Amino acid sequence: MGLEIKRRKADHLDLCIKHQVGFRKRTTLLENVQLMHQSLPELAHDELDTSVDLLGKRLRAPLIIAAMTGGDERAEKINAELSAIAEARGIGFGLGSQRAMLKNPETASSYRVRETAPSTLLLGNIGIVQARDSKSTVIERMVAEVGADALCVHMNPAMEIIQAEGDRDFRGCIDTLVRLKRDLQVPVVAKEAGSGISQQTARKIRQSGVQVVDVSGAGGTSWVGVEALRAGEREREIGELLWDWGVPTAASIVYAVRHRLTVIATGGIRTGLDVARAIALGATAAGIARPVLQAYMSQGKAAAEAYLDRVLKELVTVMLLSGTRSIEELRRAPYVVTGELRRWMEC
């Protein structure tokens, strides 16, 4: 089991770095959100405030380097350097799935980033099926061992069903959210893994008592596609068929906000304009994963820093042009919805 998990983690990392694993036709639909231009913003660039409160921490900008890796030999350096970037910019950082850590305690060092990111909002990560099958005390120790401020519990049936060695039984997951919300000392974040959040799922999350959701919508990395590239012939055929399966990120944000959930918008977020559009729809913050990883792996830490700095500069520029002084004002900024997103919003 241990070698199997390590091999899977290595496969995921390599495929995300080197292969075309994005959605093929479906987009995030954030392009259908058009913020209203303000010619008289009555603002100075230097007075704009991008700070935001999330999960008990104050971020200098509404951005998270979202969950990517852990448990692989390369993960220790990647997580250390990317978390240091997050610390320097006052943004959040998400760990990859800690399943490997549960099975193989010796992999824990690849998840420990507090030395490089002592004050960063740090999100732990475990699959909901693994959480279901583990005692709350075990999950609590796992969270404490890395010093996480919150725990993302990822819901990924589409990914698992394509994965040859993946889970097939998804019963008891709502009860698991209820139990973890009750038992853990840190907040719980219900997190998808690339297929988005429906109206019905948002309602179930809210009823569980969990208040924060990472929508991880369709339009970014297709984890069904990633698993299709790893799968045997039968699973590969299903994976190819369902490569673009899911609820687009923009629609996922709308559904979660309707159910009064605090939203982290991930899934195809690539620019500061994407971040701004997500916030205008009601998200509190946004997360970026694969573009940061690709920049880092292609040209090192400096490239990842430059990419994130550009995203933050784009966000501030959009805030100025939309006449919004703060993130809270951006959440109330006027916008027009066009195209396919309008139909999703009618559901």
What are the beta bridge partners of residue 34? 336
Tokens 């000392």 identify what position?
A: 185
Which residues, 6 or more positions from 106, have their beta carbon under 8 angstroms from its beta carbon? none
Q: Which stretch of DSSP H or E encloses residue 125?
A: strand 122-127
Spatial distance between the Cα atoms of 142 and 97, rounded to a whole number of angstroms: 11
Nearest to 111 by CA among 75, 87, 140: 75
305: which 2 tokens? 């820093």
Per-residue three-class SS string for 309-331: HHHHHHHHHHHHHCCCCEHHHHC
From first to last of its 347 residues, the chain has per-residue pLDDT tens of: 454 655 666 666 777 777 788 999 999 999 999 999 999 999 999 999 999 999 999 999 999 999 878 887 789 999 999 999 999 999 999 999 999 998 888 899 999 999 999 999 999 999 999 999 999 999 999 999 999 999 999 999 999 999 988 899 999 999 999 999 999 999 999 999 999 999 999 999 999 999 999 999 999 999 999 999 998 888 899 999 999 999 999 999 999 999 999 999 999 999 999 999 999 999 999 999 999 999 999 999 999 999 999 999 999 999 999 999 999 999 999 999 999 999 999 99
Which residues, 6 or more positions from 200, have their beta carbon under 8 angstroms from its beta carbon? none
Q: Which stretch of DSSP H or E encloses residue 213?
A: strand 212-214
Spatial distance between the Cα atoms of 223 and 226, rounded to a whole number of angstroms: 5
What separation, in Å, do the N-terminal and C-terminal C-alpha atoms of the chain show?
Answer: 42
Alpha helices in 32-127 (DSSP H): 75-89, 99-103
Supply the DSSP symbol for 25.
S
Supply the DSSP symbol for 22.
B
343: which 2 tokens? 């139909």
Spatial distance between the Cα atoms of 92 and 122, rounded to a whole number of angstroms: 6
